[in-house]
Structure 1
Amino acid sequence: MVDNLKEVNQSDLFKLLVTSTFIGLSYGVCWTSIPVLINEYFGVKKFATHWGWMTLLPAVGGQICSTVFGYIYDKHRISIISDGVEQKGKCYGRICFQFSYM
C-alpha cells in the first residue's frame, strides 16, 4: 500500500524505476513464500486445494480492480457539450488514474 502511494506521486523516471523494482521484489517474495506458509498452516494433505484457491484469488482481485479503475477513469473524463449533446472526452495526466491506487 505504501509503495503504491509513493508510485502515484512520482514524476522522476529513476524514482519510478526504483519504486517499481521494490514492488516487483515484494510480489516475488510473496509468491515464493506463500506455498511454504500454506504447507506450514494447512499441511500437505490439502495443499493442492489451498494453493489452488490462493492462485485463483489474484484473478478475482484483478477483475474487481479493473472495474474500480474504469469507474474512476470515467469519472475524471472531461464532458464536452456540443449542440446540446453531451460527448465524453479524454482524460490526460495523473488525475485520471491516481485515485485508483489508493
Structure 2
Amino acid sequence: MSSSTILSTIEFDTESEYFRATYDSTRDSASLAVVTVVSTALDRDPLNLTPLQSVIDTESLDELATETFSGHGTVDSISFCYEGFEVTVFGDGSIEADPTENA
C-alpha cells in the first residue's frame, strides 16, 4: 500500500519546521499513518525504522485516534517521540512530526 492511499500529501511547514499530513481515521490506522509520515520525512523505508510498538502502545493509539460519530478521535491529541521527531496525532485525523532539535 503506497503512502498516497494512507495519507494526504505530506507537507513541510518551512515557518514552523515540521511535517504535517492528514489521514482518513475511518479507514486507516493512526499507527500506520505515523510510520508513513516519519519514513517519508526521513526518506527511509518504513521497514528500516524502529517498530512503533516499541515506543507506544499502537492498539491504544489507534483506538484513541479512531474517528467517532462526532467526526473526531476520542482525544484532542497524543504526542510522543519517535525516530528523532516529536509526533503529535490529532483527533481530527492530522499528524505533525517535528524534528526534536526544533521541539
TM bucket (normalised to shorter chain) is under 0.3
Please identify which structure carries the higher helix content. Answer: 1
Which has more radius of gyration? 1
Using the size of structure 1 for normalisation, the TM-score is 0.26
Using the size of structure 2 for normalisation, the TM-score is 0.26
